[in-house]
Amino acid sequence: MFDGKREGILSVYFCAGDPDIDGTVATVEALERAGVDMVEIGMPFSDPIADGPVIQGAAANAIRQGMSVGKLFGQLKDIRARVKMPLLLMGYYNVAYHYGMERFFERCAECGIDGLIIPDMPFEEYVKDYAAMAERYGVKMVFLVTPETSEDRIRQLDEATDGFIYAVSSASVTGAQKEFGEAKEAYFARLASMGLRNPWLIGFGISNRQTRQAAEKYARGVIVGSKFVTLLEEFRDPAKAASELLEALAK
């Protein structure tokens, strides 16, 4: 998925439809021009229980403006003529399920979506009902692990997928942090010692150079969400927000 890049991978999340309902493609293009390696496009949901206030607010704003998964697929239908980097959709199981899972995977394939992150999809349900479907449409499924995830479960996820592992920095909700404590670094070190087959990236809390460097001592790269969503809403200009993000991560 990362074209052989071994370190320093930067993935950025934003919520489709926020702050501009028609800004999805422009935001993706701006992030690619800025040098971001991968983008996670959020599908807004009315009850985003795993998200902090920044992403909750973005989702609520997107829904108020009329964003839906159908509209998002319409916006992305020609994205591969304009963008080359890996693209993932991220959101809640309810969104995809009510759209229709077969139809959802099919539209992902039509738009050139490389992978899906559905944090609340039970792993066993994925294996039983959707793994073959994902393979048929060429869409990689990415699962999250937390400090509480057992080694056995991590290895199960690693064996059953071939995209990357999303290592959540804590079991709390999303949101920017200034630094990681000893317990979190011990968790990162434990993951690094496991010799996982898939690359793994650290997300939740990456907002500055300190948190990025701490994560990259162990992982192939980082995922930034709340920090970019805040900048995007502040500047309402994807290129400016992307530039400010890269500056913040380099300070």
- Residues marked as catalytic: 40, 51
In the DSSP assignment, the letter for residue 115 is: E
Count of CB atoms situated within 10 Å of the CB of 68: 16
Residue 235: is it exposed, middle or buried by C-beta count within 10 angstroms (0-12/13-18/19+)? middle
d(CA 196, CA 8): 18
Q: What's the one-letter identity of residue 109? A: A
d(CA 164, CA 115): 10
Contacts of 75 (CB under 8 A, 6+ apart): 16, 22, 24, 25
Scan for tokens 């294996």, then name that residue.
Answer: 127
Structure tokens at 203: 């997300």
In the DSSP assignment, the letter for residue 50 is: T
Q: Which of 119, 14, 113, 104 is CA-nearest to residue 59?
A: 14
String of b and e for 118-127 (b: at least 16 CB within 10 Å)? bbebeeeebe
Count of CB atoms situated within 10 Å of the CB of 251: 8
In the DSSP assignment, the letter for residue 242 is: H
Task: Give the CA count within 13 Å in the CB-facing half-sphere of 11.
Answer: 32
